[in-house]
Every structure is written in C-alpha cells, then in structure tokens.
Structure 1
Amino acid sequence: MSNKIKFFFQESWLLMVSSVVFGLLLAITDAAWKPRIEQNTIDRFNRLAGGLLTEAERFESVAAEPLAIEIGGKEIPVDVKRGLDGSGQTAGWAFVCEGSGFADKIRLVVAVDAAFEKMAGFGVLFSNETPGFGDKINITPAAGGFYQPQFIGAPVGTLTLTKSGDAAVIDAEIVAISGATVSSQAVVTTLNAWMVPIKEKLKAEGLLK
C-alpha cells in the first residue's frame, strides 16, 4: 500500500504543484483586473445614463446599500441612481435591469424622468443577440435606430409589443423589430418587470413623492 502511495506522489507531484501555482496566478490576475473592470462598468453606465438624461451632470446612488426590489417573486438588490443637474436638483433616475434575451441575458441601463412617469430611454449594457436581427436593440437613436427611440417619452407602466403600428407615435405600444420579435419582447418584458417595482420602492422609502 505504501508503495502505491509513494508511486502516486512521484507521478503526480508536478501536476499538484502546477495546479497550486496556476490557482495563485488566477487569483492574482483577478485581484489586479477586478477594480479596472468595475470602473469600466461604472464609466459605461455613466456614459449611457448621461446620454439618456442629458440634463444630469452626475449620478449618485440613492442609498448606501442597493435597494431590495421584488422582481418575479425574488428579492433583487438594485443600485438606483439619482441624476442631478448643475443646481443639484433631480433630473431623473437611472438603474440597470436584466432579463432573458433570445441568445443570452440582456442588461439594460434605463433612465426615467424626475417624476418617474415617463422613460428617458434605455441603453444596452450587455447583449448577445443575433447579429443583423436581435442586436438591432443596441442601435441608438443617434445612430438611426428604429427600436430605441420608441421608448423616449413612453409611459412608465405596462408596455405592450406589436408587430405592426406607427413607431413614430410615442405611447405604451412598442413596434417590434422585423425578424427579431423575441429580442424586442425581451426588452419590453424586462422593463415591465423592473420599472414599476422600482418606482414603488422609491415611494415606500420616501425618495419619490
């Protein structure tokens, strides 16, 4: 038995040492890159939110800890940020919400007005939708997007998706991207699941009248 154990260590010591070394290298790499990745995420949020709430000069979290929002029967922490203009007044609210797309998760930066009554729009923080079809949810109004502009001024509440209609009319009815109904619905479903619970939580916390 002792010979077998000795043989095992003779044959596997290099593998065990290599595993420890690689593990340490991965941990060191993660520690080195994590702050940079987090800062890049913050910078991208600020860039997207700032493009939606153009009057906001800076964004501040409404609480020291993320607000606990019940979404789909689960309690999810959400870092709701207040967009402040040059005089320190609330220009609007912004937050990240997440849902299931056609190919992967979609993560959106959503902005609404100061009264939390109308959307200022959304930007895509992450998506992996089908190129040429579902990924059209990424195209901004400035880049000639068909889908995103429909949400600018849309009411905060229950949005519905339609395959036909006038995309120039801003209301609760959103016209789907041709050939990308699933991705179009994913955005609408995600917004419907997150916006109202966040609004209600802000009211409950006395942060919104």
Structure 2
Amino acid sequence: MLQLLGKSPSINVRKVLWLCAEMELPYTQQEWGTGFQSTDTADFRALNPNAMVPVIRDGDFVLWESNAICRYLAAQHGRTDLLPTAPQPRALVEQWMDWQATELNNAWRYTFMALVRHSPAHTDPAAIAASTQSWNLHMQILEGQLQKTGAYVTGADFTLADIVLGLATHRWCMAPIERPELPAVHAYYDRLSLRPGFRLHGRNGTP
C-alpha cells in the first residue's frame, strides 16, 4: 500500500491527501514535520535530502516534491482525466502546476510567514507590502485565466492543476490581507468547495 510521510497541516501534504481522496486511493500516513516526527534525521534525509515533506513510498520506489508526487500518482493509476497523455493538454496542466510552485509561491511566502506564521525573521513592513502586492497581482493572473475557461484552470474539466491552485486559492482567501475583488477566483473557490476532498483537505475540514 502507498505510504505517505508528512504532517496533515502542510499545504504540500494536503495536495497528496486531496488527490488520494479524488482517486479513492488507499494509503497509510505517518505524520512527519514540525510538531511531529522530526525530518532532520539521517533516516529521513536518506528518503529526502531536503528534509521536507511530503515523501511517498510506493513499494521500493521513493519520491519527494509534492507536484511530482501528484503527477506520478495520476500517471501510475491511469487517471488521464487528471493528467492528460496528449502532449498539449498535459503541458497546460503542468504549466499551471509549475507556475504555482514557482511564481505564485514566491509571491506569497514573505507575507504568509509574517502575518500567519508570525515569523520573527519576517517583520519588514516594506517586504510584507511588496509580497502582498505581488500575491494579489499573481491571483489576478489566475482570475484572467478563470475568466477565459469559465470553470477550471485549464478548461471545463478538473485536473491536477486545480488541486495545487485550489489549495493556493484557499490560502489567499484565508490570509489576513486586503484583497482585490476577483469574482472568477471566488466562483472557482465555491466550485471546488462542492468536492468532498477539497472540503476535507483543501479547506481544513471546514464546510
């Protein structure tokens, strides 16, 4: 059976948890990370030298990086609805997944660490303001894409791109920041909230 190593509160672990719910894929989970078992050990670093979660074990196969794990599981179980096999639609799904992991994540990181995690290393007001502005600008990019599709990130159908960006959208909606009105993003959030897996793992169990 698939083994998932990582604490449930982690946004990256929740990508995998939500995907498993969508796929009705059985797994066992071990809680690793801050507040749980420490990842800063030789045994864990042998699985992931970055000492970060999530990590999966699928038999003898070990994989880390949450987006790579999502791609692997969808491909391994033939879920072409979530990750198409045709080059162009697959590339669009992966494009938006990569955008989430690089551009969008880098935009919100300072603000999130300052205002949600209350990190003593993230207290510069100018840096918070710049990060918040960048976060909102990136969400406006998502708004434009959702206005084009009218449904999900890459079109009419739910894909892996919606798992990673759905979690990011929840984080933006819940952050204690001033947000522009983005009607397509809010409609998207409501659409995702109809999915039991998102309500459980994307919205932290809130209705």
Measured against the shorter chain, the TM-score band is under 0.3
Whichever structure has more helix as a proportion of its residues is 2
Whichever structure has more strand as a proportion of its residues is 1
- Taking structure 2 as the reference length, the TM-score comes to 0.26
Larger radius of gyration: 1
